Structure formats: C-alpha cells, structure tokens
Amino acid sequence: MSEYMDELETTNGVDNPEVAESEQIEQRRAKLEYWRSQGVDPYGSRFVRSHSASEILEGFEQLEGSDVSIAGRVMAFRGHGKASFLDVHDLSGRMQVYAKADHLGEDIYSQIQQIDLGDIVGVEGTVFRTRRGEVSIDVKRLTLLTKALRPLPDKWHGLKDVDLRYRQRYVDLMVNADVRRTFLTRSKIVSAMREFFTSRGFIEVETPAMHALPGGAAARPFITHHNALDMQLYLRIATELHLKRLIVGGLERVYEIGRVFRNEGISTKHNPEFTMVEVYQAYADYEDMMELTESLVVQCALAATGSTVVKYQGKDVDLTPPWPRVTMNQVVLDHTGVDFMSLTDEEARAAAARLGLEVAKDATRGVCLNEAYEELVEAHIINPTFVTDYPIEISPLAKRRTDCPQLTYRFEAVCVGRELANAFSELNDADDQRKRFEAQVAEREKGDDEAHVMDDDFVCALEYGMPPTGGMGLGVDRLIMLLTDSASIRDVILFPLMRPKDQPE
RNA sequence: GGGCCGCUAGCUCAGCUGGUAGAGCACCGGACUUUUAAUCCGGGUGUCGCGGGUUCGAGUCCCGCGCGGCUCACCA
C-alpha cells in the first residue's frame, strides 16, 4: 500500500485494532488456538450442502429420518448438560440443530460446546422432530467453517443504532430479518424491471459514468480527474444524452439501470449516488411512456408485494392503471385558484407572491407555475398521477407542444407526494435543442449552477436525425422505498454514504 | 446551513436536584440428556463520543468540537 493510500485510511467507526481488544474478542481469539490445537482449521474450506434450512422445513414429510447437510451461522445456543440446541441460520431461514453426547461421544460433544455465537458451521445429521414439535437435525458431525472473532448484537433487541446499522450493514443483515427482506425485495424489483423491458423488445446498454460534460439533468456534479489524460471529468448526473445518441444510432429501444451521482444535500429522500432507470423508445411519444410507466410500476409492485395496492407509511396507495392525468396548470388551478397560463409574466409573478412564493424578478409565467406546483401541490398527490404539460423553460430536452409552444409534451408521475418518474416526447429538432442549451447557458451565467451546459456533440447527433422518441426516467430507489414501505432512502441502499466516524489524524 | 434530540459494557437501555457507574441479553465459572428469549447458582467485563472549563468532587453543570437521527432550508 502506498503512502498516499495510508493517508486515506480510516477506521470508519470500527474499533481501532491498536487499542486493546475487548475481553470477548480476546476470549474468541483464544478459541482460535483451541481449534488449531484440536487440528481444526478455524477458517475451513468448501462444504457441500444438501439442503437449505427452508427446504428441510418444507420437505420434512419426505426427509424425516434421512441424512442432510446444511451450513450457516450459529445464532443461538441452548445447552442442557449432555444435550444442546443450536440455531443455525442460512439465507433461507433458521434450522435447529440438536447435539446429544450419547450420539456424538464425550470428546466431540465437548468440542461442540466451544462453538461461539456467530461462528459459521457445517452440519451433517438426521432430520427429526423434537418433542416440542420443532423440525431439527440430530447432528452427527459439526464442522467449524469460520470462526467469528466479534460477538453478535443482542439476540432479542438486535442492532438498533441507526448509525451502526448503516456503517456495519453486514451486522445489520445478519441480525435484522426485515432488512434482509427489504434487500431481497429490491433484487426482485430490479429483476422484474429487466424482464419487463426485455419482454417489450428493449436492449440493456451501459453508457459512460465519467463524462467530459455533465448533462441530462439540472444538478451539480461531482468532479474528478484523469491523470494520464490530465483531464477534468464529471461523474454523470443522468444517462439521458448518451441514451438518446444510441437512438440516433438506430438502437430503437434502449434502457439503462445506472448509478448516477449528484453533488447535493443528503436527506431521507436523497443519497449522493442513486440508481435511475432511463428508457427510450423510437417512434413513441410521451403518452406511450405513460402506459409504459404504469405497466412497469405494476409489474414491479406485483414482484415485490403480489398486489397493485400497497401501504406506504400508513397510507393506502392504489397503483392500478390507468392513472389519472392532469395538466400542471389545471392541478395548480384546482389547488390555488390561480390560472397561471391565462396570465402575463408580470401577473404571474404577482400571483406567485400572493401565494407566498419567492420567485426571481424576471421569472416567467412558466417558472411561476412550476414553483406553485412544486411548493403547494405536489406533496398532496398521494395516488399515482400523471402531471402533464410542463413549461418549456424548465424542460430543455422535451419537445415543444404544437398547440401551445410555451409548454412541452412532458409529464411527471407523482405518488405519495414525490416525483416517481419523469418523461417526455424527446426534443429531436437540433436547432431548437441548440437554442434551448443556449438559454440554459444564459441561466448558468446568471448564477444557476444547475443549468445545463452546451453539449455540441449531442446537438450534432440530433443533426444526423433522431426519430420521434418517447423517453422516461424513474428513480429506482424511490420506487423501492414505495414498494417496501421504507421511510428513508438509506433503508433501501445497502451502503449509504456516511461521514467517516474517525478522521485520520 | 438552522432548530431539536441522541452518543454510558459487545448489544439494548437506566443513571433524580453534582458525591466511588447500573440492569437485561451477550460473556466467564458451575449444574442440567428434547430446549427454543431454556432454566438455576456465582462473577461486572467501562477512555460514560472527544477536548477544555466550573467545582473539594462532573456520566450529570458550562463552552467548543466530532458523528448520527428527525426536521426546516436546499434539491427535476
């Protein structure tokens, strides 16, 4: 390890090995020597399992009396003198293991008494049911596969400290079954997405995560540097512009489930890196994207919960299509009584002020409308709803409406007060796109550091011709929050970003 | 960034107005041959987040800092 890396090393809240270890760790280290003295490698090798714990429980009628082998972590130990019970957990669940001195011999039995909670073992024995009715394995041979040097958290209360749960997710996963369940559900949801897109003829692609120009969203990027090229790079804030280049190239239906990075605040709904799925379909429009979004979310909900009605933080949410559609102007009118689209820019600013909104002196009607929507309306939409016809000023990549050039063919799918998905008929007029970028650059020069930069190559791609295209982006973590009833995005991200607990030096 | 709350044993938590730091689980020793939060007997294992200050004396009061949670702000 280089000196440079040494400087980066932190302990991240885990005990510093230079400090004297706790008594329990010392005791467990002594067990390491015990096992070695017994000729047992405390970090053993492969072990062939015949069954998982749940397979034995479910197949008991057929398996009773036959020999099986399982492996897992010892999570409980109940000794009764010359007989003991161990709970061994694998991913599928829990299996009770019965160790009896008469069956094993005194020497082997006393060896098993040296097993600690947290040790990983292989168990070979006979399936039976105890007097109390519990399916168990009468162990014939128990093999230590891995010695655990650290004690497990409280067997009853588990690991509750939120800080430790995120920093030491491995412990969280060991002891908290609901956490395991959430991440298994996450995996099912992502699989369901891939199946959904595949069944509709989409191909999965991978575009660069390091961009020379950040684009495709309004967000501040992370900046990094490539040494050999001596070049500033940005971690991507969206996959949009590269995916649309692929539509130009003729791939017709593409999607990417990709990590994006935004250098912004952290909250229960924001992690600096998060997963977004973006999908683009040639010859489609934003109405096709509505149908696609509804169907995608339904398929994910069925995969996660088996139902299209879910409970989120005490609220019932009905995801059954079709979802209602309402224009942004109409929904704002309904909530505030203000018909922004009938006003001039100046009247709109006055109306916004009357609603208690702070808008810039030169804010346009569209900006005021969007402000009113985001501040006063969005949070009240619980059941999934398509809010359509976004103002053009805040939609630099969306196609202009032919019937109202100040609005776009764009919608956001809103649910439990949050944006779930964002979609539009993609702007494919290269000259219009260049003007939109120029307007964004002007905003940037006025101090909006989240406005787009000019992307000449993207405009060049559009000049080659991009077919009419519908595109949609959806925050995967937020969908998973909804479908797993998770209050915080950190509960659906295995390793959320945390400050190191101890600064080096 | 603001406000509120938290940080005490491996884990979950008590610790009143300042007076030698506690419980349950885990752990250690002993008993116990179908238990399951096993039970029974004995044992407390600690940098009270870190650093200052006040005080005869600080887990407790004051100041600063660190990390976290909630919330507001920010955030397509």
Per-residue confidence band for A246, with pLDDT thresholds at 50, 70 and 90: very high
The answer, yes or no, to whether ipTM is higher than 0.85 is yes
- Residue pair A47/A71 in contact (Cβ under 8 Å)? The answer is yes
CB A391 within 8 A of CB A369: yes
Q: Judge if the beta carbon of A499 is closer than 7 A to nucleic acid strand B.
A: yes
- Nearest-angstrom CA–CA distance, A411 and A413: 7
d(CA A436, CA A452): 9
Furthest C-alpha separation in chain A: 92
Please give the backbone phi and psi of residue A98, each rounded to the nearest 5 degrees, phi first.
Answer: -110, 125
Q: Residue A194: exposed, middle, or buried by beta-carbon count in 10 A (0-12, 13-18, 19+)?
A: middle
CA of A475: nearest nucleotide by C1' is B76
Q: Who contacts A313 (Cβ-Cβ below 8 Å, separation ≥6)?
A: A416, A485, A487
Exposure string for A64-94, b = 16+ CB within 10 A, e = fewer: eeeebbbbbbbbebeeeeeebbbbbbbebbb
Query: Which of A88-102, A114-128, A393-407, A444-458 has the lowest average pLDDT?
Result: A444-458
- pLDDT band at A292; cut points 50, 70, 90: very high
Q: Is the CB of A12 under 7 A from strand B?
A: no
Distance CA A347 to C1' B71 in A: 34
DSSP A90: E
Residue A132 CA to residue A12 CA, distance in Å, equals 45
**Residue A416 near residue A355 (C-beta atoms within 8 A):** no
- A217 beta carbon to strand B: under 7 Å: yes
Q: pLDDT (tens digit, 9 = 90+) per residue, A386-414?
A: 999 999 999 999 999 999 999 999 999 99
In 3-state terms, what secondary structure has residue A166?
A: helix
Radius of gyration of chain A (CA): 29
- In which residue are the tokens 């709803």 written? A385
Per mean pLDDT, which range of A22-36, A64-78, A112-126 is the poorest?
A22-36
Q: What is the pLDDT of residue A484?
A: 95
At A391, list the tokens: 């103002």
Q: Name the region of A219 (left: φ>0; alpha: ψ -120 to 50; beta: rest).
A: beta
Q: Is the CB of A32 under 7 A from strand B?
A: no
Q: Three-class SS of residue A426? A: strand
Between CA A43 and C1' B27 the distance (Å) reads: 23
Pairing of β A135-146 and β A93-100: parallel
Please state, as a whole number, how many other Cβ atoms lie within 10 Å of the Cβ of residue A5: 8
For residue A428, the Cα-to-chain-centroid distance in whole angstroms is 31
Residue A4 pLDDT grade (very low, low, confident, very high; cuts 50, 70, 90): very low
pLDDT interval class at A131 (50, 70, 90):
very high
Report which residue type is found at A112: I
- Residues 416-475/A with CB within 7 Å of nucleic chain B are 419, 422, 450, 473
CA of A176 to C1' of B22 (A): 28
pLDDT digits (tens, 9 = 90+) for A298-339: 999 999 999 999 999 988 999 999 999 999 999 999 999 999
Check whether residue A370 has its CB closer than 7 Å to nucleic acid strand B.
no
Closest to A97 (Cα-Cα) out of A65, A116, A81, A121: A121
User: Do the Cβ atoms of A129 and A60 come closer than 8 Å?
Assistant: yes
CA A493 to chain centroid, in Å, comes to: 5
Place of tokens 């097993």: A115
Whole-angstrom Cα distance, residue A414 to residue A224? 34
At residue A19, the pLDDT reads: 46
How far apart, in Å, are the Cα atoms of A10 and each of A3, A4, A17, A155, A364? 13, 13, 12, 29, 49
Q: What is the mean pLDDT of residues A367-379?
A: 93
A66/B40 CA-to-C1' distance in Å: 36
Cβ neighbours of A230 (radius 10 Å): 7
Tell me the residue length of chain A.
505
A160 touches strand B (CB under 7 A): yes
Amino acid at position A243, single letter: L
**Cis peptide upstream of residue A322 (ω within 30 degrees of 0):** yes
The pLDDT-based confidence of A499 (bands split at 50, 70, 90) is confident
Tell me the CA–C1' distance in angstroms for A21 and B51. 24
Asked if A29 CB < 7 A from strand B, the reply is no
Name the band, by pLDDT with cuts 50, 70 and 90, for residue A11. very low
Nucleotide closest in space to A264 (CA vs C1'): B75
Q: Which bases of chain B are under 7 A from a protein CB atom?
A: 1, 6, 9-13, 24-28, 31-39, 45-47, 66-76
Cα–chain center distance at A64: 41
What is the reported pLDDT for A503?
A: 44
pLDDT at A8: 34
Residue A96 Cβ < 7 Å to strand B = yes
Q: Stated in angstroms, how far is A504 CA from B55 C1'?
A: 35
Q: Is the CB of A163 under 7 A from strand B?
A: yes
**Cβ of residue A133 lies below 7 Å from strand B:** yes
Nucleotide nearest to A130 (CA to C1'): B34
Nucleic strand B contacts from chain A, 69-88, CB < 7 Å: 76-83, 85, 87
